[in-house]
Amino acid sequence: MGAPPQSLRGSSPPTEGSGESISGAEELRQKDAEALLRYRGVRSAHTYQASWYNNATFVFPLVAVIIAGIIWLATGSGEAGGAAIFFLVVTGAMLPVVFITWQRQTTAVIVHEAGVTALHSGLEQQSIVWDELRSVRRVETMGNVRWYLDGAGEEYIVIEGEIAEREQLLDSARAELERRSG
């Protein structure tokens, strides 16, 4: 699984030869930035600001292993040792779940002249052309807010709270939706 993805902070992301900077492109991970070349008229690029290891189902038991392990080593307590082993097993069991869900996580959203595209490490996950955009809707689940860009049929792109400049992205989608329906 290796190191976390690297961003392009402080470097020049690829553009279509326009000489213009693409809004948000300097924050993209390398593979997502390289993918920009596939899209005509890129208006903005929005990166997912978290990584796989930010998942609470992974981090909590890992922190608990460390704390219980320190207590176990410091005191020799069997209960602390048992807790450390238990949380180690939980951490190990959660790793596949975290990695499977990470593979489906959008790492960048590209707004371009044809529509909006969700990427994961440079690979296209979902794309909605502007003519097929049906709605921009907000969904709140247990305090977690997500936005959905609904396309034709069952197609949709989820815009998580961790997407950089989310409001700019949503404003672009709303403006296209208004322009095409009006």
The predicted-structure confidence for 2-42, as pLDDT tens digits, reads as follows 333 333 333 344 444 444 456 555 567 788 888 888 888 89
68 and 127 share one domain:
no
Claim to verify: residue 83 and residue 151 sit in the same structural domain: no
Quick one: what percent of the chain has pLDDT higher than 90? 31
Report the predicted TM-score, pTM, of the whole model to 2 decimal places: 0.65
* 16 is a domain residue: no
pLDDT above 90 for 85? yes
Has residue 169 been placed in a domain?
Answer: yes
CATH of the domain at 128: 2.30.29.30
Residue 82 is predicted with a pLDDT of 94
Q: Which domain holds residue 176?
A: 25-48+105-181
Question: How many distinct structural domains can be found in the chain?
Answer: 2
The answer to whether residues 122 and 136 belong to one domain is yes
Indicate if 143 and 170 belong to the same structural domain: yes
State the average pLDDT over residues 94-121. Answer: 84
Residue 5's pLDDT is what?
A: 35
Across 45-64, average pLDDT? 76
> Is 141 part of a structural domain of the chain?
yes
Closest CA to 82 of 68, 70, 92, 66: 68
**Domain ends where: 102, 137, 167?**
102
- How much is the CA Rg of the chain, to the nearest whole Å? 20
Q: Residue 95 domain-assigned?
A: yes
pLDDT at position 11: 36
* Least confident stretch, 1-5, 63-67, 73-77: 1-5
